[in-house]
Each structure stands twice: as C-alpha cells, then as structure tokens.
Structure 1
C-alpha cells in the first residue's frame, strides 16, 4: 500500500513539474493599462483639470460655491470666473460683482441668455448691465465673405501681436456676441460669429464668453483651450465660482441601501401604529344573559343615527305613513299636498296642521333628543291610526 502511495506521489510531482516547465517556456508576460474612468474628484469638479493646469503655471487658484467670499477678494491682481448658473443672482449681487471689477478686478462670465428684440433685454441681468448681446449664429443676417475660405470655420481664433498664426479655441459655434455700443477692446471670432469679448470696466476688465465648455475636464486639452485660459489671467490670482452638486445623504442611502430604507420606514410605521393604541385595562365582555331584544333594538337605532343621521330615520317613518295611507285611499298620489293632508286628517282623526308638521320637509338644524323623540312618536301615532 505504501509503495502505491509513493508511486502516486512521484507521478503527481512529475506532472506538476511538466506543467510548470511548459508554462515557463510558453507563457509571455505583458502589461495592460485598465482605464477606470475619471476619479471621483474629477467627476465632482468639472474644472479640476483647469485648476491644476493654472496651478502648474504658477498661479494661485481657488474654488468657491457662492459670492459670500467676494468681500475678502482684493480686486487688484485678482480674477473672478463665474462659470456656473447665475439665474438666482440678485441685482444687489450683480452690482457688487461689477463694483469689484471696477475697482481693478478681472471678471469673466458666461452669457446665459439670448437678446430679445421685443423686450429690449435678455433676462440675464449681468449681461445686460455690460451692454453685450447674445444671438444664435444661424440667425445672423451678415456673414463675412472670408468665412467660405476658412479652413477651420468652427474654431475660434485669437490673433496676437507679433504672431503669424492665431491661437485656436473650441467655443460652441452656435452662439454669437455683439457689442452695440462698441465698448470691446479685444475679441475672438470663428468664421461666422464672435465668442469672446473683453471690455474695460473702470480700473479692471470684463470678459464675456458664449460658453465655458472648452475649459471643462473633457475639452481643456484640445486645441489651445488651456493656453487661452492662462493667457487671459496669467498675472493674477484666480477664483473660480461654480456650484458642485453633491448627492445628499438620503439619495445616497436610497441608491446603495434601498432595502434598509424600506425596512426602516416599515419599522417607523409599525412604531406609530403601536403608539396609536389606547392603553388601559381591557373592558370585560358583557354576559350573554343580559343581551335582550330591547338592547339589540337600541344598539341598532344608535348605529343608524350615527351612520345615516336623524333625517333618514324620520324620512323612513314618513314614507311608511304615506304607503299605508295609499292603501287606505287609492289615488292619493294624484292629489296635491294640501288635499293629501285633508285626507290623512279624515283617516287618522288628527288635525291637518299636525299632519303637515309630521310629514313636512326635514329641518336643516339637528333636533334635540326630546324633539326627535316627539317627532318619532307623532309619526308612529299616525301610522298606527291608519
């Protein structure tokens, strides 16, 4: 038996050595880069690459989510880039930003609305304040003659002094800026439209652009987009203002732990249901011997009063009286009301006035217990007299 086990061990060892030798001779090592996509930091900050690029050029770059920090920013040698949504900016905040630029700051913002010829404004308060108008490029009536010869019609070109070739930027060619008061001192155009304008503003300057998509993480490495951003603010400290939308705790819990949230809600519901019960000694059930017919009738009457009200019970008795009256006097329905009451008075011996009081329309107000009992007794007397 031991010889067999030893032989089996030798055989297994030989097979393992053969497999290892084969893998060693034929296996080829290689390297593979696996792209896991943008980092969470890049996903949360669309201008992260722009911030890092400017810092690499030696600039001081900060990011803020609101204008609350504007009073702490010194205008001199400082640039403020409004890259986020500005629909909620108040007139006071707009004046604050423009005053900051007038004191020497450099301001850049994105035009976020089109000019409306009928209303004479664009509903973009900041854009209207600097007297710049934005239109759709396809709506322009005048197209430069050299546009047909442009090799790159959709790229924005910035011509610099002492440079033979322009710098190219990837602004969205769908939009166009106009300067009706001829205030701009510098601009950059594509074949058919203007996408960047720079205006003097007091001791500072204001730069208006049609969009800022070219400076986001996915596009800043294209063309001369990164260089243009550095060129505009090369000798200043830069503050970027835009909101970063983070998922709140509830949305994150619902995304990753929906079962736990459902269980928690069910537990809270059960707790509220349990807390809603009345606490106290349990009332013993009444013995069956005392459940007499009179008690059943009283309980039924109380139930009908609670569910249907007094008037439904009185109307039932009134219909019963009229049904028995029709049996005693055929053709009663063909008579008018006063004649019916005369017939009922003759059949029952009651006065027409009491008949009218008993069979008249129900009162709007709720009857007291004594009034209700009296009315019921009156109707029962009429029914019994028939």
Structure 2
C-alpha cells in the first residue's frame, strides 16, 4: 500500500473514533446551573452600613456621609452617630447638643457602662443627657437575673408599641444591656423581657434617640424582623447624615488614605538612603587564611601595628630600653658606668664605631625619615644581638 494512502486511512479511522466518542459522551452529559457565593462585595466589607445607606436612598432621602464633626448638618435633618465616639471631645459634644436643641434629631449608640463609684460613665453624650447604661442582669432581682441567664441562648426580641397600632414592632437588640432614664425625661421606649434598649426624649426643640446598639442596621441584620422599618420610622421625611467615625483621623491615617503612593516612595527612598550610607568605604579585605600561623607573620604584624599607632620614635625607644635591660643582665655593673663608658663597651661588643653607638642611643628626633629609621633599627638590632 502506498504510505501516503496508509496515513490517510489511519487519520480517517482516528477521526471516526473521536467522533464516536464525542457522540457517546455528549449523550451522557447533562447541563445544570449552580450558584457560587463569593461573599460580600469589597465595598460592603468596608462599609458595615452600606445596606442602610442604600435603603435610605431608596426612600428618596438625601443621605450624607460624614466622618467628623467639622460641620453640623441642618437643624431639620437626622444625625446618625453609628461609629466609635471614644475620642469625642467635650466641645464636640456641646456642639452636637446645641444642634439638637435647635431642632435636630440625634440617634446615637450608648458606649459606656455606668460607674457607681465615679457617678459617671465616661460617655459624654450619655452623661450630658442624664442617661445610664447598665448590664441587663444588674437591675433585676436575683431570681429574675438567674432566669434571664438561663434563657440567654433563646431569642429575646425587643417590642416597640406605637399609638394606634395593634401589633408591636419586633427588634433584635442585644439583650445584655439596659438603658435607664435617670432624669425621667423619656417619652418613648422599647423593651425586651428584662431591659430597655431604646429611649427617646426631647432636648430643646429637637429629639434624641439613644440605643444600646446599632447592629440591627448592619448589612447582615437590617433585613431581619422590623429593623429596616425602625430606620425608616426614625428618619422619615428628613435628610440623613451618617457619621461613621466620631473622631478626627490622625495625620498619618489621612496621608495613608489620600497619598499612599507618596508614602511608599518616601519609604523606599529612606530604605535606599540607609543602604547607601551604611556601605563600607574602600575595598573589602579578603578573608584571612587561618592556616598561616608563622611566628614571622606575627612579628611583622606586631611591628606594623606599633609603627602605625606609636610612631617610629616609640619603636626606637623600645629597642633602646631592650638594649639597656640586656646589658644589665649580661654584664653586671653596666648601669653604674658613665654614658661614655657604656657606649665604649657596646662599641667593643658590637664592633660598631663609637660615634655610631652614641648616635643610635640618643633619643630619636620628632621627625625621622624612612631610611634613617631603617638604618638606626639595623644598628640597634646588631647591638642587641651582640649582647
């Protein structure tokens, strides 16, 4: 058979086989639909009250988000303080309450428990309005507190009764906390089985609503019970300002938020500058060979060290002192001789001219050349060896 025709035949059989397998498996396959949950969107993860924001927009409200108390909203609006207020200053507290007294509606969350010893809670808004927050079991009799603890795992809903309404509004507040109106000014409230979770009172021309928590309006809980309805009821017919943060962000936080690229560039510049100035100056010395341990190398290294740090005068002085010490040891009475007699004795022993002996034993000058230093060292070593 022609090889070309044989190849065509094999290719045709392979195509037929693949076609048959495709028809077989296509009959076995069945299409189906599935939903893959990716969780909340990044915007929802960053904003826990995004659903409440969108809900108010659907009610045709004008919603403004504020992150500080730099400017107060208009007096006919509702201010929702849902964020952390631990850094709220007395001046900011006074400004908010003045805004309420002029006709604003403030909705805020109690953040601190009442302290009986200091007679204050530390929450500036609560203390200014004469409101107190306690643990729910603290104000109950012992038997009722025990029963409340026993049914803690069971859902206990808060009920809000309205005029001209037969059925109450059901809310899932955290039943661990209780609001107490120490000034007896509240005209509306919402209670669970053993605690009060919402108080509403007049303040000047405005209205204040205090809550034990605002979790009922977060993204994952606003759809439950009557949570969305309560948000509509408290803000109806008014524009809304959502304040997520009651304190001013620090300089670094603002720079990080608005200029992250500039901060990253500055950090890289500081890193490279530190690396540059931390470099060694000059070439790196090769690592020493630890196998070289000869006495001559140690002597050379010691002499080089002394020459660099003490100078040539010190080296010559040390040689002269060594000669005097050896002469006293080898020739008793040498130190009692006059200087001229000592020079003659050394000249005789070393066979050097007397003027040379006298010259090398004198103190060295402040500045001495390399050749003179070498010559004097050679003469002194010859005298020392002769001893």
| TM bucket, shorter chain | 0.5 to 0.7
> What TM-score does the superposition give when structure 1 sets the normalisation length?
0.64
Give yes or no for the alignment of 1:272 onto 2:277.
Answer: yes
Match of 1:203 in 2: 205
Match of 2:111 in 1: 112
Shift of the 301–183 alpha-carbon distance from structure 1 to 2, 3 Å rule, reads same
Shift of the 60–266 alpha-carbon distance from structure 1 to 2, 3 Å rule, reads closer
Match of 2:168 in 1: 166
Between 1:120-129 and 1:239-248, the stretch displaced more is: 239-248
Match of 1:74 in 2: 74
Shift of the 225–9 alpha-carbon distance from structure 1 to 2, 3 Å rule, reads same
Match of 1:91 in 2: 90
Shift of the 263–17 alpha-carbon distance from structure 1 to 2, 3 Å rule, reads farther
Structure 2: gaps (5+ residues): 283-299, 312-387
Secondary structure of residue in 2 paired with 1:29: coil
Tell me the alpha carbon deviations over residues 208-256 of structure 1, each in whole angstroms, 9 at most, x when there is no partner: 0001111111111111111111111111101110139989479x99xxx
User: Could you tell me how far 1:164 is from its partner in structure 2?
Assistant: 2.1
User: Could you tell me how far 1:11 is from its partner in structure 2?
Assistant: 1.2
Q: CA RMSD in A?
A: 3.6
Match of 2:233 in 1: 231
2: distance between equivalents of 1:292 and 1:158? 94
Shift of the 8–115 alpha-carbon distance from structure 1 to 2, 3 Å rule, reads same
Match of 1:65 in 2: 67
Kept after mapping to 2: 8 A contact 1:51/1:61: yes
Q: Which has the larger radius of gyration?
A: 2
Shift of the 142–65 alpha-carbon distance from structure 1 to 2, 3 Å rule, reads same
Tell me the alpha carbon deviations over residues 10-45 of structure 1, each in whole angstroms, 9 at most, x when there is no partner: 112112211221232221111111111111110111
User: Could you tell me how far 1:144 is from its partner in structure 2?
Assistant: 11
Match of 1:11 in 2: 13
Match of 2:359 in 1: none
Shift of the 142–184 alpha-carbon distance from structure 1 to 2, 3 Å rule, reads farther
2: distance between equivalents of 1:189 and 1:273? 67
Kept after mapping to 2: 8 A contact 1:153/1:191: no
Match of 1:310 in 2: none
Kept after mapping to 1: 8 A contact 2:113/2:135: yes
Secondary structure of residue in 1 paired with 2:130: coil
Match of 1:330 in 2: none
| Alignment match of 1:193 (pick from 192, 195, 202) | 195
Tell me the alpha carbon deviations over residues 111-161 of structure 1, each in whole angstroms, 9 at most, x when there is no partner: 00011111111011111001110000121234998x99x9x8621111122
Kept after mapping to 1: 8 A contact 2:140/2:194: no
1: distance between equivalents of 2:275 and 2:187? 70
2: distance between equivalents of 1:292 and 1:176? 84
Shift of the 74–192 alpha-carbon distance from structure 1 to 2, 3 Å rule, reads same
Match of 1:347 in 2: none
